[in-house]
Each structure stands twice: as C-alpha cells, then as structure tokens.
Chains A and B, each alone.
Chain A
C-alpha cells in the first residue's frame, strides 16, 4: 500500500474550535488531495495541491483551508469547526507519469465529530 498516514485517526471537538488534520506521504508524489465523505454524497473534493505551496479549491472548500510547506505534508484546517463539518476525511496522493493519468491512492481516513 502507498505510504500515506493520516493523523489523528479520530477526533471529537466542540463547535467553534480550530482543528487541523495532517496527511503525510512517503511516496514523493506531487499531488495531494483532501476529501470528505458523508452518507448519500460519496467522496467530495475539498482542496488539492499540485506542489509545495500550490493549492486550489475543490467543490466543497468553504470553511476549510490547506497548507503544503513540504512535499510530504498536506494540512487541512477548519478555522472554526461547525457541526456540518462532522465527517470522515480522506487524504489522497497522485502523480503523473510519462504524461499519463495515474490513479490516486488514499489514506485510511480521519473520523471527525464536532459537537
């Protein structure tokens, strides 16, 4: 399996508190992604990164920010958590090889509950 570590794996916090989730990879892949998964919605892209300090928004980016200061780490921050952000968060990594599309590899997720 691809070397992707998400931390923490589980977190319970209160509304209004800041939360940071970390994704760490050992594959040296250029692209990193944050998704959230909710019942009835499948996985939805929050933000993604196409290099160090290069990030862009996905389809559900409101209320989230990201940072990537090193190739191996991609942080997702909820500045002021709300109950609607209770979800399972998945990090994924991807690469382009010989100009061909390569599949993404996913971490095991972080279950976040906001009370």
Chain B
C-alpha cells in the first residue's frame, strides 16, 4: 500500500485559498488519490478523488502532476467551518477489488477570523 506524507498542521484565515500537498512517491499504476475531511466526533467525509491531471467539484480542486508522486488539495476561500483534519489517501483501483485504504495522520487545518 502506498504511503502518504502530508503536513501535520496548517493555519489560515477566512477567505483565503488553502493548498495542502501530499507526497506519495510509491503510488501504483492502479491507485487513485482520494481526500477526506474529518470533524471531531465524526467519521471522515469524502471530498474529492482523482487519478491524474485536475479534478474540480463544488467544494475543492485536486491537482495531480504527470508523475503522480504528489497531489495538492485546493480549498478556495476557506471559512471557519473548514477547520478539520484532511486526509490524503492512495488506494487500489479496480484490479485490487475493494479499496484497502491507508490513512496517514492527516493535516489539521485551522481557520481563523
């Protein structure tokens, strides 16, 4: 299973764009990159998933370079409610059957006024 490395914590202010980078040097061909968000006392919640290039949805963008050894989660104009732990995961694709995901310790994002 591919190991991921991401910053332990980040601080930001409301209205700013936040970029969290994750390193996954031994990502496999069939691996997808997925980001989850977790609030205290809740289970992780899916944010975005990608395989290569750029993916955008209503809450975030995911940038993946050609070599796929890293990825960057971009949160536009964060608010206090975005304060949470963000996990970057790399998991097996279709040939691996179900997703055996490896969670790291995540990045604690703190957003202030």
Which of A's residues lie within 8 Å of B, judged by CB?
30-31, 33, 35, 40-45, 48, 50, 58-59, 90, 92, 94, 96, 99-109
B43:A101 contact, CB within 8 angstroms: no
A42:B101 contact, CB within 8 angstroms: no
* Nearest CB on A from B86, distance (A): 11
B105:A40 contact, CB within 8 angstroms: yes
Which chain A residues border B32 with CB–CB below 8 Å?
101
Chain B: residues with Cβ within 8 Å of the partner, total of 25
Which chain A residues border B42 with CB–CB below 8 Å?
108-109
Pick the residue among A30, A59, A90, A101 that contacts B91 (CB under 8 A).
Answer: A101
A104:B101 contact, CB within 8 angstroms: yes
Report 5 cross-chain contacts, Cβ distance below 8 Å, ordered by A residue. Answer: A30-B98, A43-B87, A58-B100, A101-B93, A103-B36
Pick the residue among A44, A50, A109 that contacts B43 (CB under 8 A).
Answer: A109
| Measured CA separation A102–B41 after assembly (Å) | 24
Tell me if B46 is interfacial: C-beta within 8 Å of chain A. yes
Which chain B residues border A107 with CB–CB below 8 Å?
43
Which chain A residues border B91 with CB–CB below 8 Å?
101
B43:A100 contact, CB within 8 angstroms: no
Which chain A residues border B101 with CB–CB below 8 Å?
45, 104
Which chain B residues border A101 with CB–CB below 8 Å?
32, 49, 91-94, 99
Which chain B residues border A90 with CB–CB below 8 Å?
43-44
Known: A35-B103, A40-B105, A103-B34. A94 touches B44 (CB 8 A): no
Considering residues A99, A101, A107, which has the most beta carbons from chain B within 10 angstroms of its beta carbon?
Answer: A101
Which chain A residues border B102 with CB–CB below 8 Å?
45, 59
| Measured CA separation A98–B102 after assembly (Å) | 23
* Pairs of residues from A and B, 4 with the lowest C-beta to C-beta distance, nearest first: A106-B43, A31-B98, A43-B103, A103-B46
Pick the residue among A45, A102, A105, A109 that contacts B100 (CB under 8 A).
Answer: A45
Contacts A35-B103, A42-B103, A101-B99 known; 7 new A-B pairs at CB < 8 A: A31-B99, A42-B106, A45-B102, A94-B98, A96-B98, A103-B34, A109-B43
